[in-house]
Every structure is written in C-alpha cells, then in structure tokens.
C-alpha cells in the first residue's frame, strides 16, 4: 500500500468504506485526513480508524497527494471551486466518486489542466467486495493512475475505462446493480415463504445460494450460460423455473431496466455539469 497522504472531502458512507478498506490494506492511518462537517461523524471516524478529521476542507487537504471527493454530487461544484486554488498549488490528484459528475466539469471548476480521476464504486465496498470502474483525464500521469487504482483496489476489484461515456453503462450495471440483486433476493425469499418455509430459512437459503452462485461463476473457467445449462436437466425442476423466468422475458426486462438507469445517469451528468 502507498505511503501517500489521502484527504477525503465528506466522511459519509462511501468515505467510511474506502477508509476501512485502506486501513485493512495497511495504509498508515496518519496518512488519511478527512473533512466532515458533522462533529459526531468526525469523532466516530477518529475513534474507529485513528485518522485525522477536520471541520474545515482547506485544512484537511493541506499537503495531500490525493484528494477524494466523497460528497453528494449536488455539492461537488461548490466544494471544488472553494478548494481549487489550494489543489492547483499543491498539484494534488483529484479522485471523484460522485455519481454522474464528469471529469471535464471537475477540471473546469478547478481552473483547467488538472489531473482528475472519476470513479464509480458500489456499496459492497463496505465489505471489501466492491466493483469500481475508473476513468482518467489526459493530465493524469501513469504514477497517478497506479495510485488511484491502489486506493480503489483496497475495497474490491477495479477496471479502467478508455471512454468516459461508458460510465453510464457502468452505473447501470455495477453502481446500481447491488439493488437489483437485493430485489431478486427479496422476491425469492417471499416465494419461499409463500410455499411454507419460515422467513429465516427462506432468507438464509436465498442469500447463501446467491453467494455460492457468484463465487462459483467467478472461480469457474466456464461462462455463466454453461454453468446454468449444467444445473438445468431437461424436464427437471430448474428447467421448470427457468421456463417461467424466460417466458416472462427476464433478459428483456434487464435490458430495459439497465437502459433506464444509464439514461438517468446521462441526464444527471448534464444537470450537474450545468452548475
């Protein structure tokens, strides 16, 4: 893990996951600085991770090699404009996890020609099994790309995008994706209960099956279509269920759902960039 100083602006859910991951990855706590307006949240971060927490953003970023923007998307423009002179002086790398906010807009708010990495992590980062896509603008050096990747890899796997427009599809698949699986688990659990299982049994069987299927698919050399085929004997129980799901056009439903999420991500990018 790098010895670089990383300053977080915003000490909420995403910052907490990343800080937890970095500490677990043996990043020195002394190299992590957090700006957070809420005193209770500041105290909790200091208590839980022994990091330095500040009320003032400009104080938190002093001397930082990397500045992680982890406030809500609607606040990014004001935060970046306020810190721009300090960030330019220090030549810090800016990494934004804000959904929908484009690199070009952050660069413009910084005054132009600044290194900016945009990241789209997801909530399983909380348990170090996140999936993050990264995109770097032209000002980001190879060393800074490595640094950004190292930070986000502390909470899961990382992929790089060469076209920032793909962030909308990433948002639709992995950014919003955990909710689709929670919805599926909810539906499976309810179906199990409707057939007489008690809630706890239906819950555990559903979750362990989801975990087992994901782990098996990740560890297998076969693609998921082949894994599905292997558990679906003609005329068997799985075939009966799959027939119902395909009859309800599950693939079409997912295509339309992900297109709706990507479309909304694009709309948000335009709305946020107009600030």
Ligand X SMILES: NC(=O)c1ccc[n+]([C@@H]2O[C@H](COP(=O)([O-])OP(=O)(O)OC[C@H]3O[C@@H](n4cnc5c(N)ncnc54)[C@H](OP(=O)(O)O)[C@@H]3O)[C@@H](O)[C@H]2O)c1
CB of 84 to ligand X, least distance (A): 14
Give the pairing of strands 66-69 and 93-96. Answer: parallel
CB of 65 to ligand X, least distance (A): 19
Residues 68-104: b if buried by 16+ CB within 10 A, e if exposed? bbbbebeebbebbeebbebbeebebbbbbbbbbbbbe
Q: How many CB atoms neighbour CB 166 within 10 A?
A: 15
CB of 173 to ligand X, least distance (A): 13
Q: Tell me which residues touch ligand X (CB under 6 A).
A: 9-15, 35-38, 41, 57, 70-73, 75, 79, 97-99, 120-123, 175
Give the pairing of strands 116-120 and 130-136. Answer: antiparallel
Known binding-site residue numbers:
9-14, 57, 70-73
122 vs 137 by CB, closer to ligand X: 122
Known binding-site residue numbers for NADP(+):
9-14, 70-73
CB of 225 to ligand X, least distance (A): 29
Known binding-site residue numbers for NADPH:
57
44 vs 227 by CB, closer to ligand X: 44
| CA dist., res. 212 & res. 202, Å (int) | 15
47 vs 229 by CB, closer to ligand X: 47
72 vs 255 by CB, closer to ligand X: 72
Residue partners of 241: CB distance under 8 A and separation at least 6: none
């Amino acid at each position: 893990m790098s010895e670089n100083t990383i300053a977080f602006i915003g000490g909420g859910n995403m910052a907490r996951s990343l800080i937890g991951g970095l500490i677990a990855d043996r990043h020195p706590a002394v190299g992590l600085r957090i700006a957070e307006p809420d005193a209770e949240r500041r105290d909790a971060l200091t208590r839980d991770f022994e990091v330095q927490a500040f009320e003032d953003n400009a104080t938190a970023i002093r001397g930082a090699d990397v500045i992680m923007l982890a406030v809500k998307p609607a606040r990014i423009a004001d935060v970046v404009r306020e810190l721009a002179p300090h960030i330019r002086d220090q030549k810090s790398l800016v990494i934004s996890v804000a959904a929908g906010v484009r690199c070009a807009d952050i660069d413009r708010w910084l005054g132009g020609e600044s290194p900016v990495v945009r990241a789209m992590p997801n909530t399983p980062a909380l348990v170090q099994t996140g999936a993050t896509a990264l995109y770097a603008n032209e000002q980001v050096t190879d060393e800074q790309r490595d640094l950004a990747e190292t930070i986000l890899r502390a909470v899961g796997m990382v992929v790089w995008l060469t076209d920032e427009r793909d962030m909308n599809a990433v948002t639709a698949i992995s950014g919003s994706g955990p909710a689709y699986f929670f919805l599926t688990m909810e539906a499976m659990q309810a179906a199990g209960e409707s057939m007489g299982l008690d809630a706890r049994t239906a819950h555990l069987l559903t979750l362990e099956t989801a975990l087992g299927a994901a782990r098996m698919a990740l560890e297998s050399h076969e693609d998921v279509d082949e894994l599905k085929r292997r558990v679906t004997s003609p005329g068997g129980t799985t075939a009966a269920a799959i027939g119902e799901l395909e009859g309800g056009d599950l693939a079409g439903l997912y295509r339309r759902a992900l297109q709706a999420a990507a479309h909304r991500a694009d709309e948000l990018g335009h709305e946020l960039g107009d600030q």
